[in-house]
Amino acid sequence: NAGVMQNPRHLVRRRGQEARLRCSPMKGHSHVYWYRQLPEEGLKFMVYLQKENIIDESGMPKERFSAEFPKEGPSILRIQQVVRGDSAAYFCASSPRDRGRQANEKLFFGSGTQLSVL
Amino acid sequence: AQTVTQSQPEMSVQEAETVTLSCTYDTSESDYYLFWYKQPPSRQMILVIRQEAYKQQNATENRFSVNFQKAAKSFSLKISDSQLGDAAMYFCAYRRDTGNQFYFGTGTSLTVIP
């Protein structure tokens, strides 16, 4: 049973380009979370999605950032017109169901995508 | 707002010795969950240990144990018999009883000296 798969592992973009980060959750998991880790900082929540639904995007910048988790295929975090401040490691995590009160359930993390904006 | 503070950016420990990593948090909630995650150079986030706030007994997982002081809002991680493979960044995290957000500290980089 493969873990959470993120690709690419490293992504280099020039300012103004678009970045697409992909996340395939663990088999059987229908809930995906995206986190951003800036240098010298912990992980910051960005967005929580279920299949075809955005549940909580309170941590995601209103401009340039979007996320989706289609019925088929991986979850995509899309950053338009990237700027240098977007350089960070972006982590995806998955769980089998709404964690709600099931906090004892583990959140499974991928190995992240390191985005570098030149 | 919930905040998690790790005041030790770097720590080191001799192999086979014991080390304690500190974590404090701020919350007005009475029910919540606390976690320690390990992030080795591979960047994979690995759950080390978790604690439910309503449980008074400190959680233990093999060589890893916590000292949970609810009144003081303190949640330290003790690693006994340190091994070279324990070298990593360690993140303390808080999660409310309901909801999906984890709040992470800024991490402590642990070096294990052979």
Supply A36's token pair.
């951003």
Write the pLDDT tens digit of every residue in B14-36. 999 999 999 999 999 888 999 99
Q: Considering only alpha carbons, which residue of chain B is nearest residue A4?
A: B44
The answer to whether the Cβ–Cβ distance between B98 and A43 falls below 8 Å is: no
pLDDT of residue A103: 47
In this structure, are strands B88-96 and B108-113 parallel, antiparallel, or unpaired? antiparallel
Cα separation of the two ends of chain A: 36
pLDDT of residue A64: 97
Helix, strand, coil abundance in chain A, percent, nearest 5:
5, 45, 50
Between CA A54 and CA B36 the distance in angstroms is 27
Supply B34's token pair.
């606390």
Write the pLDDT tens digit of every residue in A58-105. 899 999 999 999 999 999 999 999 999 999 999 999 887 655 545 445
Between CA A31 and CA A102 the distance in angstroms is 13
> Highest-confidence range of A10-14, A25-29, B96-100, by mean pLDDT?
A10-14
Chain A contact present for B53, CB below 8 A: no
The answer to whether the Cβ–Cβ distance between A43 and B91 falls below 8 Å is: yes
